[in-house]
Amino acid sequence: MLHEASLHSRQRRGSASSSTLVSPFLRQTEPETLENSRAAELFQTTLHVLNDKARQRYKRDVMAPALLSWEDVELIAELSKCPPVTHPNICQQSHLNKYRSISGVCNNRQNPLWGAANNPLVRWLPAEYEDGGREPKGWNQGRLHNGFQLPPPWEVTKKIVRSSSKLKDDVYSHMLVEWGQYISHDFTLTPQIKGGAGLWSEVDCLKTCQNVHPCFPIETGDTIKAADGCMPFFRSNAACIVKRRSDIRQALQRQQMNGITSFIDASCVYGHSPRLESSLRDLYGLNGKLAVNDQFRDHTGRTYPPFVANLPSACRQGPHSERVECFSAGDSRINEGMPLICLHTLWLREHNRIAEALKHINGHWSPETIFQEARKIVGALHQIITMRDYVPKIIGVEAFEHYIGPYRGYDPTTDPSTSNVLATAAFRFGHGTISPILQRLNESFQMHEHFPHLRMGSTFFSPWRIVKEGGIEPTLRGSIGTPASTASANMLLTEEVTDRLIILNDSKFRDLASLNLQRGRDHGLPGYNDWRSFCGLERIITLEDLKEVVRDSRVAENILQIYKNPDNIDVWLGGLVESQLPGSRTGPLNACLIGKQMKAFRDGDRFWWEAEGMFSQQQKAELLKGSLSRIICDNSNIREVPADSFRFGRFPNDYFSCDHLPSINLEAWREEMSQDLVQCGTPRHIWNGDFILSSTSGKLVALYSCYHGFKLKGAAAIICEGNQWNNQPPQCTGT
């Protein structure tokens, strides 16, 4: 079935216009993700076929234990080519003790896949599908939920979500909004089914208004804005999941995949697979740096990210003769907006700045050691800026203390995997803070003379505006020098994203609010009330209850008028309309869900910056001097910044010269050559690979590894014994 559908899909794409070849958000899917997705679709399809047969023959559900055993399930998974269970023994390799793996595997030694890329989003509450296993809420026409049909997402957008204006926040800058989007790309990416990744039918999701997997179109009834009266929607990829549990039915429900690592680990800078990481590095510069753009620099010679490999790319072009292609980074969403490009550019430059300093300080370090130590510092700064400077502002200090609290060390019993409800609902609270206008400011933090403000729609997928219109500085100044937009119950999402969301080379419009609601239903998320119960909050029973939580009577009345029953309210909407807690930008539900997730990210990460053995006390003290404002100072031409880039201040009174801002002294990373290294000498470098030095049982060991695409031949480790290395270095041969 899948093979036939895949062939038809390829034939369709081959004969279609180029407009259907562009992934709507330019999210390039890694080969490993595609393989896992196809295996998961085979697994799910097999269960689907078996279930149909069982119902025809036995009038029973195949998930009844008498019909399907765990041995059967494991065999189906094996035949579907789902990845085998990763045994903890692989985590004993010593190089995994010093630096985190790029894919997140073996962060937890007993549960190697916790938090790793291409694994299921975790469920904090069981999924709710209309058939119990895979069909989303709203899949079956006329199906009642608590006595009523669910309202179409487009109706919810029109009557509740869409807003023509936004309130401004006089406390925080728009950088708070931009960091939220940027850091969310560090721990969640839900791939969507496209083409041959797995289909159960030959239907083209861009052309149908029927619910036929993988198509789950959004009804609009508006043939002017959406041809055929619906918006296209692709379901999220399934994830292979075979774990021994007591409840086989729950274990076999459709789960969705997180295509990247769950950790706050700067994977958006470095990638989440060996192949992607390798493509981003300057491997043959022997300097531990990341690759930079070889065509463009800014007017002071500062670098930009490299272009994507497949050219010409789909990014928009300006009125210039020379093309500016899509940028490449650890996360493929870099080109979605100009502030995202700016933040990615800052961190690329910061890595290379640190790597250059470390090479100067520790001349005996190998390029691999320089790269990994710089990556470790950049990862720590992502964690510090997020947990110290960002999260308390979002959920409030009181909720931070309640749900997160002080750090008490690494807890190997905590699963750090991203939860389905965070990825699909809670962290999408930020969509209510999107501004319809992107402001660009000059050195005096006034409207730029040459580069005016832009409507958001004209900023998507436009790296040319960064390269050709003043570099990253005008946009960065706009982010830190403009008050943040904020959501309120009667002003949720701007029309720029509900009416004019841009999808490259596709004439069909999209509505971000409808996409969020439909995605929650696609994932089988329980309703708003169930999540309030999960967080220990009182359920909404009456209109008065809802009015108390929302604090806008008209909005509360509209919600109940549309949903009929409080238990039917979608969790994304319910969390978004709640009145914000004091000193926060979220209501009680989202504060709870975000707080619980951040605690799991921190406590379940063996490589968290504060964990024992990660950094020396002196290094920790230096890292705490780091800030986003300092990163801006060190990697752009902006010379005056607020002490905290997330707080809105007036220029020049609330701004500081970069010369007066604390900076990290990398001398804390100076490492003298050990006596063993002096006696044995620096290990020999090898082609297409490198080494890091480690200490095992008191002996100096050189641990060799090959770059992606090469295979190690010989001993992976050589030991310094008797003033010489006990073996020849290995070789890296092409595979």
pLDDT along the chain (735 residues), means of 10: 65 45 50 86 84 81 70 87 83 77 94 94 94 92 94 91 68 95 96 60 80 90 65 90 64 88 98 96 96 97 96 92 95 95 98 98 97 98 98 97 98 98 94 88 95 91 96 98 82 67 59 92 98 98 96 92 96 95 95 98 98 97 98 98 96 96 98 94 95 89 94 94 93 89
Task: Give the CA distances from residue 242 to residues 415, 518, 618, in Å, rounded to whole numbers and listed in that order.
Answer: 17, 26, 44
Assigned token pair, 59: 């009038």
Contacts of 468 (CB under 8 A, 6+ apart): 318, 320, 324
pLDDT of res. 90: 83
Q: Which helix (H) or strand (E) holds 522?
A: helix 512-522
Q: Answer whether residue 710 is part of any domain.
A: yes
Assigned token pair, 163: 């807003």
DSSP-derived 3-state class of residue 538: coil
Beta strand 493-494 with 230-231 is: unpaired
Q: Answer whether residue 293 is part of any domain.
A: no
Would you list which residues are annotated within the binding site for heme b?
Answer: 431
With tokens 């995994």, the residue in question is 96
pTM value is 0.94
Cα 285 versus chain centre, distance: 29
Contacts of 96 (CB under 8 A, 6+ apart): 106
- Residues linked to residue 657 through DSSP beta bridges, in sequence order: 640
- Strands (E) located in 187-319: 218-219, 230-231, 257-258
The one-letter amino acid at 594: I
Q: How far apart are CA 139 and CA 524, in angstroms?
A: 11
The one-letter amino acid at 219: E
Q: How far apart are CA 651 and CA 663, in angstroms?
A: 22
Q: What is the dihedral of CA 667, 671, 672, 676, to 10 degrees?
A: 180
pLDDT of res. 24: 39
Q: How far apart are CA 473 and CA 464, in angstroms?
A: 14
HSE-up (13 A, CA, CB side) for residue 333: 18
Q: Answer whether residue 497 is part of any domain.
A: no
Q: How far apart are CA 629 and CA 634, in angstroms?
A: 9
Q: What is the dihedral of CA 243, 245, 251, 252, to 10 degrees?
A: 80
Contacts of 388 (CB under 8 A, 6+ apart): none
Helix axes 473-480, 628-635, angle to 10 degrees: 160
Q: How far apart are CA 446 and CA 397, in angstroms?
A: 33
Task: Give the CA distances from residue 438 to residues 119, 174, 268, 494, 637, in Å, rounded to whole numbers and listed in that order.
Answer: 35, 10, 23, 13, 20
Q: How far apart are CA 575 and CA 585, in angstroms?
A: 11
DSSP-derived 3-state class of residue 594: helix
Q: How far apart are CA 537 and CA 243, in angstroms?
A: 31
Residue 13 and residue 20 in contact, taking contact as beta carbons nearer than 8 Å: yes
DSSP-derived 3-state class of residue 435: coil
**Widest CA span in the chain:** 82
Q: Answer whether residue 698 is part of any domain.
A: yes
Task: Provide the domain limits for residue 705.
Answer: 675-734
Q: Answer whether residue 697 is part of any domain.
A: yes
Q: Answer whether residue 701 is part of any domain.
A: yes
Q: How far apart are CA 579 and CA 61, in angstroms?
A: 44
pLDDT of res. 198: 43
User: Of 237, 161, 186, 171, which is closest to residue 572 (Cα–Cα)?
Assistant: 161
Task: Give the CA distances from residue 22 to residues 19, 54, 72, 315, 329, in Å, rounded to whole numbers and listed in that order.
Answer: 6, 40, 39, 10, 18
Residue 361 and residue 646 in contact, taking contact as beta carbons nearer than 8 Å: no
CA dihedral for 109, 598, 387, 494, sign (positive or negative): positive
CA dihedral for 455, 456, 459, 460, sign (positive or negative): negative
User: Terminus-to-terminus CA distance in the chain, angstroms?
Assistant: 33
Q: Answer whether residue 713 is part of any domain.
A: yes
User: Of 153, 130, 154, which is closest to residue 142 (Cα–Cα)?
Assistant: 130
For the chain, the domain total comes to 1
Residue 390 and residue 180 in contact, taking contact as beta carbons nearer than 8 Å: yes
- Residues linked to residue 706 through DSSP beta bridges, in sequence order: 689
Residue 134 and residue 253 in contact, taking contact as beta carbons nearer than 8 Å: yes
pLDDT of res. 504: 53
User: Of 247, 270, 325, 233, which is closest to residue 102 (Cα–Cα)?
Assistant: 270
| CA angle (459, 461, 462) in 5-degree steps | 60
pLDDT of res. 457: 83
Look up residue 438 and give its DSSP letter: E
Q: Answer whether residue 715 is part of any domain.
A: yes
Q: How far apart are CA 602 and CA 403, in angstroms?
A: 12
Tallying the residues shown for the chain, one arrives at 735
The one-letter amino acid at 48: H
Tell me the CATH number at 719.
2.10.70.10
pLDDT of res. 26: 47
Active site positions, annotated: 185
Assigned token pair, 446: 């006034």
Q: How far apart are CA 391 and CA 46, in angstroms?
A: 43
DSSP-derived 3-state class of residue 731: strand
